[in-house]
Structure formats: structure tokens, C-alpha cells
Structure 1
Amino acid sequence: MKACYHCKTEWKSDSKPSRTESCENCDRDVHCCLNCQFYDESSYNECHETQAERVLDKEKGNFCDYFNFRQSIPQTPKKPSKKAFDDLFN
């Protein structure tokens, strides 16, 4: 599922978002580093794509040709820690 990095609203279009498109729910830019599969805070320039130009503001729309919408995995509720611990011994 493709979703907005900020509000987790699903991106339903099959096409790549343009630089000016925004989330229908929170109005944040969609074609931005934080929505890209190559974004990684621990990488050089915070991007796994070595050929990409440096983008300073990761939340703003950009012209990166390597943008590829990341696939978000829906979060499942986690068991409370104490219950998970107790389940180990019962």
C-alpha cells in the first residue's frame, strides 16, 4: 500500500505523483523524499540512490527522477509488553 508519510492516507493512483501533487487529507507534498523507497536517514544524503541529486528539504516536492513510492505496511496493534512477557511462561 502506498501512503502519505505524514497522515498515512492511502495514495490510490497507479501513476507516479508529480512534483506539485499533494495528499488529499493533509495537503503535504507527495513527491518527496519521505515518501520514497530510497529514503534512509543513515545513508549518504539520506538516500540509497547514489545517482540522485542532493535534496535539502526532505518534506518538500522535488524533481528527483529516481523517486519511487515506498510501500507502507499497515501497522498491526502490538501486544502490551507485560502480556507478551507473561505469555512466554504460560
Structure 2
Amino acid sequence: MEVKLICFNCNKEMTFHGLIGRREECPHCRSDVHVCKNCEHYDVKVYNECRETAADVVREKDRANFCDYFTPRKGGTGAVDKKAALLAAAEALFKKPT
């Protein structure tokens, strides 16, 4: 089974064959892969920043952890790009015409 994932840190695509282990690293930036920020359940708007209510509390969302509920985030980019897109939209909205 091939798993494609976008790194939360460098926003580059990674490809893994089989399950993603706790010690896996991004081949581009060497960040841990089995982290909350790469998980489908990660959501900054909910309690504990995780939509999986049975998961244990993880304090460091960008460090490797032992969470059994880890599910690789599908497609798309991370929250960093959403923030950049919102800032660009706000700047465009309030930009004075030349």
C-alpha cells in the first residue's frame, strides 16, 4: 500500500510504502512524520487539537508520538498555507488601487 502525504513543515510531498512508523522522517526537511500535524484528526479548532476524542493528550504536535489513532492526512497542504492564503486575501482586499 502506497501512502502519499504532504509534510506539515516543508509542504513537500512524501511517499511511503506500507504503514508509517514512529521513526519515519521527511526526506526533504528531516521532520518527524508520525506527528499530530500530519494526521487526519488534527484540528486546531477543537479541544486538544484532535477530533479523535479517545486519543491521549499529546503536548508536542510536531514531534513523533505513539498515538494509535494516527491517520495520514489526505492531500492538501497544512495549516501554514491556509494562514498564508488568508493573509494574502486580506492584503488584496485592503490594497489601494494604483
What TM-score do the two structures reach when normalised by structure 2? 0.71
Runs of 4 or more above 4 Å deviation: none
Question: Residue 21 in 1 paired to residue 24 in 2?
Answer: yes
Which has the larger Rg?
Answer: 1
Structure with higher helix content: 2
Match of 2:58 in 1: 55
Match of 2:45 in 1: 42
Structure with higher strand content: 2
When the two chains are superposed, the root-mean-square deviation of aligned CA atoms in Å is: 2.4
Aligned length: 81
Question: Residue 32 in 1 paired to residue 32 in 2?
Answer: no
What TM-score do the two structures reach when normalised by structure 1? 0.77
Question: Which structure 2 segments of 5+ residues have no match?
Answer: 82-91, 94-98
Question: Which structure 1 segments of 5+ residues have no match?
Answer: 76-80, 83-90
